[in-house]
Structure 1
Amino acid sequence: MAKLQNLAACASKRLQQASHLEPAETRIEVRALLCHALGNVSHAWLIAHGDEPVTDTLRQSFESLLARRIAGEPIAHILGQREFFGREFKVTPATLIPRPDTEILIETALEKTPANQPCRMLDLGTGTGAIGITLALERPLSQVVIVDFSHEALAVAKENIQRLAARNVTALHSDWYSAVQGQRFDLIVSNPPYIETGDPHLQQGDLRFEPITALASGADGLDDIRSISSQAAGHLNPGGWLMLEHGYQQGTAVRDILQQHGFTSISTVTDLAGHERVTLGRVD
């Protein structure tokens, strides 16, 4: 009878051939699927029990999960969650899948928000709530409002608030600023849609399974960033910051947009690959 470690090794080869992922990434995904099939055991448990035999029931369950991944379904959807900034967030097809690049936005926001002072933050287009909830948990003295236009996404965000006990977060249904009229914040953050509507990448990889409304934004991908930026100053306290994640080729355009709307101290932060990823500006 095959052992767990043999099942994992064979599955890694099959997934790599089907997906063209890097070998290390393939092994990580297969371990995650196998842990899930085993009842959400830990990776440490799997390693320690690699010599255990594979039952028919386990094989069937695992093969079903693996087939979905080989067909291209995002592993975050198969598992129903994705790790972000050290925490597990529920993910569904109604939300954007949190990605490592967005952690740059978190790190930049934390640099501008002192840990020992109250702060009001707004997360626009929150999706899973990963950005706003993470900021709330990292800055427990803060009050964070997260908004989304999608009722389905907002339901996921509210569940993540409960799961992670983020008591300083308020979730609102809102078309950008519509539900926070008259309110001001010290920080506004957003990972808005920023892909060009006709971009062929929308029909590739994980993007095929994510909501198009969370991905694409007009002919140049900047429609939502323009809308957010044009209204941001009216919702920021003096000295407050607007921070936007964007595509790696959009840094110059986003800096120009912020300058047009009167922001100062404008700068762009690069991701781990050296690409421009987050642009920020301040209201004086």
Structure 2
Amino acid sequence: MTTIAEALRRFPLPRLEARMLLMFACPGLSHVRIVGHPEEELDAGALARFDALAARRVNGEPLAYLIGEREFYGRDFRVGPAVLIPRPETEHLVEAALSRQGGESARVVDLGCGSGAIAITLALEAPLWQVSAVDLSAEALKLARANAERLGAAVTFCEGSWYRALPPAERYDLIVSNPPYIAVQDRHLEQGDVRFEPRMALTDGDDGLSCLREIAAGAVERLLPGGWLMLEHGFDQGSAVRTLLLHQGLQAVETLPDLAGLDRVTLGRAAK
């Protein structure tokens, strides 16, 4: 028989990752038991499940996909290969939306919602908001709907491409999006977790700005007077995205940094 301590040493993984995979492979096994009783023996089935998961992680498969969830804004979201894994940087987009729009009633849409992390978080943090979410992928929307139901969020989901998925006459106080913004030739597409994530959620197949251009170009027709457009983008795209928003006549355009001080979210406001 193999003990907890021995199992955790079987693969060259960070300690926390190995423990998370072991807990996932062994339902009922807690972090406290792992730390407090490393001599405890594992049954053959649990060990086999752990070995299979750990081997996949060593080969680069994202931990979030292996255990099926990722924390975002203090909540656990189910994820899978059909959606981008929520990242802490995207919390800046949520915080910008909440701080500028306030808690009063508002019509809000998230373009390219993936797992639903942004839209669901906004709906839960601002319960007076009417939140809609759009995605081109039916698989992504299935997962997003499941997350909304599990977390108790009232979100209306629409399948389609950007604004074309929405009712033609609908206008919004707030449009948010974390669209594909990695240039197709960017070497980061072949590194780390990104290798396993859906390519259409990462890159526009072009210069990294085409989706941002399309969203910016359609925003004025879809924003209510004084409404905000807020876009997440790459660390080196702040200047380009500000130009896009200014070209569309948006006001109060600015770029907000992430915790590393890198450009992360650019926003602008429609004329009142």
Output the TM-score relative to the length of structure 2: 0.94
Distance 1:11 1:239, change over 3 A: farther
The Cα offsets for residues 139-188 of structure 1, whole Å up to 9 and x where unpaired, read as 1111100010111111111111111111x210111210112221111111
- Inter-partner Cα distance in structure 2 for 1:143 and 1:44: 41
- Inter-partner Cα distance in structure 1 for 2:182 and 2:258: 17
Secondary structure of 2:71's partner? strand
The amino acid that maps onto 1:98 is P
Picking from 77, 83, 95, the partner of 2:65 is 77
* Residue 259, structure 1, aligned to residue 246, structure 2: yes
Unaligned runs of at least 5 residues, structure 1? 16-25
Secondary structure of 2:157's partner? strand
Pairwise CA distance, 1:43: 3.0
The Cα offsets for residues 86-127 of structure 1, whole Å up to 9 and x where unpaired, read as 111111111111111111111111111222x11111000000
* 1:248 alignment counterpart: 235
The answer as to whether partners of 1:11 and 1:30 remain within 8 angstroms in 2 is no
* Residue 107, structure 1, aligned to residue 108, structure 2: no
* 2:147 alignment counterpart: 160
- Inter-partner Cα distance in structure 2 for 1:170 and 1:265: 29
Q: Pairwise mapping of residues 29-178 of structure 1 onto structure 2 (< 5 A)?
A: 29-39=17-27, 41-115=29-103, 117-166=104-153, 168-178=154-164
* 1:22 alignment counterpart: none
Pairwise CA distance, 1:47: 3.1
The answer as to whether partners of 1:232 and 1:242 remain within 8 angstroms in 2 is yes
Secondary structure of 1:196's partner? coil
Distance 1:4 1:195, change over 3 A: same
Secondary structure of 2:179's partner? coil
Distance 1:118 1:218, change over 3 A: same
Deviates more, 1:120-129 or 1:41-50: 41-50
Pairwise CA distance, 1:65: 0.6
- Inter-partner Cα distance in structure 2 for 1:40 and 1:137: 29
* Residue 280, structure 1, aligned to residue 243, structure 2: no
Distance 1:48 1:128, change over 3 A: same
Alignment length (residue pairs):
270
The amino acid that maps onto 2:15 is R
Output the TM-score relative to the length of structure 1: 0.91
Q: Sequence identity, in percent? A: 50
* 2:173 alignment counterpart: 186
Distance 1:141 1:264, change over 3 A: same
- Inter-partner Cα distance in structure 2 for 1:132 and 1:40: 32
* 1:18 alignment counterpart: none
Secondary structure of 1:112's partner? helix
Unaligned runs of at least 5 residues, structure 2? none
Pairwise CA distance, 1:57: 2.3
- Inter-partner Cα distance in structure 2 for 1:69 and 1:283: 46
The amino acid that maps onto 2:59 is A
Pairwise CA distance, 1:210: 1.1
* Residue 203, structure 1, aligned to residue 190, structure 2: yes
Q: Pairwise mapping of residues 20-31 of structure 1 onto structure 2 (< 5 A)?
A: 26-31=14-19
What is the root-mean-square deviation in Å for CA atoms of aligned residues? Answer: 1.5
